[in-house]
Amino acid sequence: MHRAARPSCLSLILVASVFAPSAAAQTPEPRAPHPPFVGLVNGHHEGAEVYVACPGPARGQTTHPLQHQTLAVAPIAAGGGFTGEAATRVVARFLDDKSVGVVFTTYGTTQPVPTSITVPCEGKGVVRFAPRPRSSTSTPDFVGVTYVNVAA
């Protein structure tokens, strides 16, 4: 009976390691006005993947993101988005379903990817990390994502 449980435990460990945030998203730091920043999806600014599960043919279908995935905002020296003069927070939204905004008031903290939104079962998407309130000097950051169907 114990031998049958081991493969399941190993699978859980492997799956959990896929969704672990990067070191850039692990140290909380207050979000100060004016600095440039990048958005992170599952710890990545480039090559980010969002995991979904769509049984059967996935083409043209939609679903919800799987649990245990993260969004974060990290400061950088240059590039990415810019908080501008007025921003006190950064709000992340999936452009495939803008119904849920994830609010960040500090750098280095993670928030869960909302599982209530609807996204494609496969293909590409974008997450916008927008400074709020907006100002003439603020600029959002955009993270391209690939939707990966783990049930395929």
Write the DSSP symbol of residue 109.
-
**For the purposes of burial, counting CB atoms within 10 Å of the CB of 120, is it exposed (0-12), middle (13-18) or buried (19 or more)?**
buried
The answer to whether residue 120 is domain-embedded is yes
Residues of the chain with pLDDT under 50: 1-25
In a domain, 4, yes or no: no
For residue 119, tell me if it sits in a domain: yes
**Count of structural domains within the chain:** 1
Residue 114 in any domain: the answer is yes
Within-domain flag for 48: yes
Among 107, 132, 111, 105, smallest CA distance to 65 is for: 111
Region for 98 from its dihedrals, namely left if φ exceeds 0, alpha if ψ lies in -120 to 50, beta otherwise? alpha
Judge whether 14 lies within some domain. Answer: no
Residue 11 lies in a domain: no
Identify the CA nearest to 45 among candidates 67, 76, 18, 15.
Answer: 76
Q: pTM for the complete prediction?
A: 0.78
| 12 part of a folded domain | no
List the domain range (segments joined by +) for residue 142. Answer: 21-149
